[in-house]
Amino acid sequence: MKLVLKFSGKNIDPHKSAFLKPVVELWQKGTKLAFVHGGGPQISKFIEKMGKKPSFVQGLRVTDQEDMDLTEMVLSGLLNKALVGMLSQYGVAACGISGRDANLFIAKKHIINRENQLIDIGRVGDINQVNTQLIETLWNNKILPVVSPISSDGNGKSLNVNADWAAAQLAIALRVEKLLLFTDVPGVLSDPSKPDSLIEILSVNDVPLLIQKGIVTGGMIPKLQMIETVLRGGVEEVFIAEGASLKFVDQLFKGKSIPGTRIIR
């Protein structure tokens, strides 16, 4: 079994490692795992420390060169290495890499087209090439890859890529069965103010309307925008849930439902 698992920054507490236990169990059972992580709140904290106000367009961070440097330090440095450290405490040999290592992710600059107006949000990228060689090498040596989404622009510089998109492109390139995205809400909600309005099964065809009607906003937009590409790319299922659902993940492989939203073709 092959899996890409993504944890958002909201799920990561560098001082508490218990949230990683289910990841360790999956890995120790022999699942081929690539662990992609975000770090949105942690990046924003450092940008604020510089006296700046973080800003987002369609759920993507507006990233000038100074923000890019901070983003790379926080994602590929601080958080990536904290995760590797916590996994090593559980006896797991993990290797922290970013999309820049061995050209894992090559990206081009992302331009937003809003009502026929092109909006430049700085050093933000879209991955257009994935080289999985490094991940395969790590797997072959029983080393768990921990992946920061910072990508190469193909000219030796970095681009800031949304961690959901990085996880999605990796899932397609590695031909995994499932892409599991863990966040701070129980899944996709039909009324975001009501945690009990969970949509348990969502068809990819319903996504444009959810965005158009304003039911899905903010960071949930980039999450859902890439799902059609992922499912077309051969991944069977995308699952969006709260971090706590990870401990039930075995059930998902037995075809049983667990708390969260399953998105299928």
Ligand X SMILES: CC(=O)N[C@@H](CCC(=O)OP(=O)(O)O)C(=O)O
Minimum Å distance from CB 140 to ligand X?
Answer: 28
Nearer to ligand ADP, 135 or 181 (CB): 181
Buried b (16+ CB within 10 A) or exposed e, 151-184: bbeeeeebbbbbbbbbbbbbbbbbebebbbbbbe
Q: Is 219 in the site for ligand ADP (CB under 6 A)?
A: yes
| CA separation for the pair 39, 149 (Å, rounded) | 10
Per partner kind, with CB cut-offs from 5 to 8 A, the member of ligand X, ligand ADP, none near residue 60 is: ligand X
Which of 43, 40, 101 shows the shortest CA–CA distance to 223?
A: 40
Binding region for ligand X (CB under 6 A): 8-9, 38-40, 43, 60-61, 71, 124, 149, 160, 162-163, 219
**Considering only residues 127-186, where is the footprint of ligand ADP by CB under 6 A?**
164, 183-185
Site of tokens 């994935």: 130
Q: Is 245 in the site for ligand ADP (CB under 6 A)?
A: no
Structure tokens at 80: 């990536």
Nearer to ligand ADP, 53 or 254 (CB): 53
C-alpha neighbours within 13 Å on the C-beta side of residue 71: 27
Q: Is 40 in the site for ligand ADP (CB under 6 A)?
A: yes
Minimum Å distance from CB 254 to ligand X?
Answer: 28
Per partner kind, with CB cut-offs from 5 to 8 A, the member of ligand ADP, ligand X, none near residue 189 is: ligand ADP
Q: Is 216 in the site for ligand ADP (CB under 6 A)?
A: yes
Nearer to ligand ADP, 64 or 184 (CB): 184
Q: How many residues bind ligand ADP (CB under 6 A)?
A: 19
| Residue type (1 letter), 177 | E
Minimal CB distance residue for ligand X: 38
**61 known ligand binder:** yes
Q: Is 79 in the site for ligand ADP (CB under 6 A)?
A: no
Per partner kind, with CB cut-offs from 5 to 8 A, the member of ligand ADP, ligand X, none near residue 202 is: none
C-alpha neighbours within 13 Å on the C-beta side of residue 108: 4
**40 known ligand binder:** yes
Strand partners for 61: 56
Nearer to ligand X, 39 or 145 (CB): 39
Strand partners for 7: 37, 182
Buried b (16+ CB within 10 A) or exposed e, 58-89: bbbbbbeeebbebbbebbbebbbebbbebbee
**141 known ligand binder:** no
Whether 234 and 255 have beta carbons less than 8 Å apart is answered as no
Minimum Å distance from CB 117 to ligand ADP?
Answer: 23
SS3 assignment, position 20: helix
Q: Is 32 in the site for ligand ADP (CB under 6 A)?
A: no
CB atoms within 10 A of CB 111: 11
Nearer to ligand ADP, 68 or 224 (CB): 224
Instruction: Point out which residues bind ligand ADP (CB under 6 A).
Output: 8-10, 38, 40, 59, 164, 183-185, 188-189, 192, 215-220
List, as residue ranges, the binding site: 39-40, 61, 160
